Amino acid sequence: MQLFENMGEYGYEQLVMCSDPASGLKAIIAIHDTTLGPACGGTRIWPYATEKEAIQDALRLGRAMTYKSATAGLSLGGGKGVIIADPNTQKTEALLRAYGRFVDTLGGRYLTTTDVGSTGRDLEFISQETEYVVGLPIPLGGSGDTSIMTGLGVYMGMKACARQTWGSDSLRGKRVAMQGFGKVAYHTAQHLLEEDAELFVTDVYDGALNKARDMGVEVVSTDDIYNIPCDIFSPCALGGVLNGDTIPRLSCQIVAGGANNQLLTDADGEDLHRRGILYAPDYLINAGGIINVSAEVGMAYSPDVAREKTERIYEIMEQVIHTSRREEIPTFMAADRLAEDRLASVRGVRHMRRAR
């Protein structure tokens, strides 16, 4: 694997390899871009099959965090941490504290929070070794569970898409097929049910399905979810689910969900556009989590500030749709352009300051 070639391809500033044999820690911290502020992104704990797979995941996810913060108007850059471990059997206090020491060596260039496989309790251990942690439980002065605001943001993105598709942002009676029913999907579903939307849910875990049944939601198999006639298809599990095999099976007018990196390739985003399916770029509408933790950076956390900023996702989604239609480009390209224009603008201001 050509590391510098891969970093250059994605525009990365820094890639840190972390090893602590005593605790068994093997981790990667990827800092993509700090133009707008310190890189911020969760730490994913996952039993990657190979080190190459872990590095590629960190590079892929960190870049998305830059674009997520940029489109949301935050003063944060993008980064990601990954720990190669099974979160159910290999996660220990020693391992997490060792990771925290590596985060601390970066001197605030990278702020970490939760991601797949990590919890608020894990952040408590990490914070024993570094102050560069956001999203700690509220009793410890943090902003708490990021999935609450993430779910709200996905819901706001859906409503913006609905308004542009059907002339009204009401989701009453709309059929929504949710692939995955973790914490983000659960909070999104609460908003949808309050509007009397009709939900169809799948997940690989029985606990998640039981929670859906308790809410009165219809459960379907993991394969059938793509074939459900619906108004909105909502990917809320892992990435790459929108691809050449699944897109032809969709029967919907909108795709909007909380999962990261839903498009397997850019060509799949172009395919959705050709088919007339309105795609809500994932990093735009699932930005509620990063917005939530941003409300504690440099200030006391305010849930009202976090909610107000998260609700702006509605307006940003509409802006992206208008650009997409005006320039006849897919929505993922319009969102990328919004992020890249902001980054270029701030870089320009910095260059002007240095020239003085």
Q: Which residues pair with 80 in a beta bridge?
A: 30
To 5 degrees, how large is the angle CA 331–CA 337–CA 339? 110
- Active-site residue flag, 309: no
What gap in Å lies between CA 242 and CA 262, rounded to an integer? 6
What gap in Å lies between CA 187 and CA 282, rounded to an integer? 16
Residue of 80, 91, 174, 309 marked catalytic: 80
For 261, the 3-state DSSP assignment is: coil
Unique residue bearing structure tokens 């074939």: 227
Q: Would you tell me how many other CB atoms lie within 10 Å of the CB of residue 51? A: 13
- Per the CB < 8 A criterion, the answer to whether 183 and 205 are in contact is no
What gap in Å lies between CA 231 and CA 127, rounded to an integer? 43
Which residues, 6+ apart, have CB-to-CB distance to 194 below 8 Å? none
Q: At what angle do helices 313-327 and 303-311 cross, to 10 degrees?
A: 20
Q: Which residues are catalytic?
A: 80
